[in-house]
Amino acid sequence: MRIVRWVGSRAGTGSWAAWPRWALALAAAAISLAADATTANASTLVYQCASAVCAVDPDADDSPRRLTADGRLAGITADGETASWVRPDGRLVQAPIDGRAPSVVPYDGAVVFQPSMSPDGTQYLWWYPGPGAFIGSTAVYISRLTVGQSVSDGLSFCGGSCVTSHGWVGQTPIAAFPADTAPGEPSQVCRLANEQEAPGASRSCVQVLVSDARGGIAFPSGNAAGTEIVAAMSPGEETGVAGRIVRYSLATGHPLADVTQGTTDTTPVFSAEGDRVAFERDDQIVIKDLADGSERAIGPGTYPFWGGPRTDADAGVSLGSKRLRYRRGKVKVKITCEAAEDCRGKLSIRTAKRVKVGDKGKRKAKRLTIAKDNYRVTAGDIDSEKVRPKGAGRRLLEQKRGGSIKVKVNLRPKGGGEKVAETLKLKTSKKKGGKDRLTVHATDGAAAEPVSSEQSSAR
């Protein structure tokens, strides 16, 4: 195995269509054969979902959404604001996580295997197979692109039976190198640098950060504090692909703890706080809580990246309305979002007192739901949600044209945040011309009838 410095750039056209982990395993097998012959504001988790790129807030009660139907994921920024992927035409793009249009990263070269964006979105890493140091041999090269430059620079050359995988600790590029049994070196995670950044260095492994003699390390990724690395470790293997997830200390260079005891776990990443790890297990995205050891599956996917602080579950949502009005078939409710992230949840309006509903002779008194809908308000903003009453709720308001009733407005945030409940006066507008007319068709059912205060207290 040869781990030497590679200096240069690779520019070309076209794209390499392959999944990063599969490509790594195939390349490891291919290179091994050749050696014998010659001697991936709210917390946002993005991941590869088949040919698409998906995103989900793991702290909210949300379903995953597609960012693009066809692309190779390249990561998400540390703030959780911007995702990146490679389009089918081979172009790198960056896109706001809120769904706005992506922008193309200006680069005409080939972005090959395991594209990985730096936490600040200014750099990319990827690897590709190329000719080795000996005739007929194969090697793995790691390239780095700085956004705004037209060519990439070479950071690593690993020949013979060497296969590497890479990641980031802050803005520092890192890579996992396999064990070398001949000189007795364990698997290592190293800092990468070019010739200008590390003058005189003769090896691609500029600085050993962590090592593990138990097996091969793969897919290293640092926490936001820059104190730990999490990686997949394949026990008994020289080159890592999948196995168990392990935390390593950058202060000591040794393992801190085995996060999992699996045999197929791979591509781990820390949450922004460093208290959770997301990883892939049997083509499912799994999150492990490091405090209590609990695990939960997010859904089918591979190659996760995690950005943005833990979502506050809409703790800053409140009602901005002091009174409500029913007009033109809708009720407008002002909602204030003082949270750092968008506020989302369910809005409902119910009668403050019981009203009688049902057919004559069979009417029951209950608090009637007048209207309900989902709400979403931009962080730090005030928005008006217009809800349309239906059924018995609409008929009650139509009966009250020109008058008012007391209602209870409820906001139930997604993710289990603090609920909001306030009693307000809802005023109904008169019909044009001042006439209060109501036509109830037989198919509409019976209208609601208010219960007197005596009746309500008696119940």
Q: Where are the domains of the chain?
A: 2-307, 317-454
CA distance 420 to 412: 7
What pLDDT is recorded for position 3?
52
What pLDDT is recorded for position 398?
86
What pLDDT is recorded for position 227?
97
What pLDDT is recorded for position 343?
85
The top-level CATH class assigned to 317-454 is mainly beta
CA distance 244 to 268: 10
The residues of the chain scoring below 70 in pLDDT are 1-41, 61, 133, 135-137, 161, 182, 312-315, 358-363, 415-417, 431-459
CA distance 292 to 303: 24
Query: Which residues are CB-neighbours of 331 under 8 A, at least 6 positions away?
Result: 324, 325, 349, 370, 371, 386, 387, 388, 389, 426
What pLDDT is recorded for position 39?
32
User: What SS3 state is found at 58?
Assistant: coil
Strand partners, 288: 277, 295
pLDDT in tens, 305-360: 999 998 755 457 889 888 899 988 999 999 998 877 788 889 999 999 888 776 66
Would you say the CATH fold of 317-454 matches that of 2-307? Answer: no
pLDDT in tens, 243-295: 999 999 999 999 999 999 999 999 999 999 999 999 999 999 999 999 999 99
The CATH topology of domain 2-307 is: Neuraminidase (2.120.10)
User: Among candidates 55, 110, 86, 131, which has minimal Cα distance to 305?
Assistant: 55
Q: Pairing between strand 302-307 and 228-235?
A: unpaired
φ and ψ at 382, to 5 degrees? -120, 130
**For the whole model, what pTM was predicted?**
0.67
User: What SS3 state is found at 341?
Assistant: coil
H runs (alpha helix) in 277-324: none
In this structure, are residues 336 and 108 in contact, taking their beta carbons and an 8 Å threshold? no
What pLDDT is recorded for position 11?
36
Calculated CA dihedral for residues 283, 285, 289, 290, nearest 10 degrees: 50
Give the single-character DSSP code of 340.
S
What pLDDT is recorded for position 73?
98
Q: How would you list the strands of the sheet with 364-366, edge to edge?
A: 364-366, 355-357, 449-450
In this structure, are residues 340 and 363 in contact, taking their beta carbons and an 8 Å threshold? no
What pLDDT is recorded for position 442?
28
Q: For the chain, give the number of residues.
A: 459
Cα angle 379, 384, 385; round to 5: 100
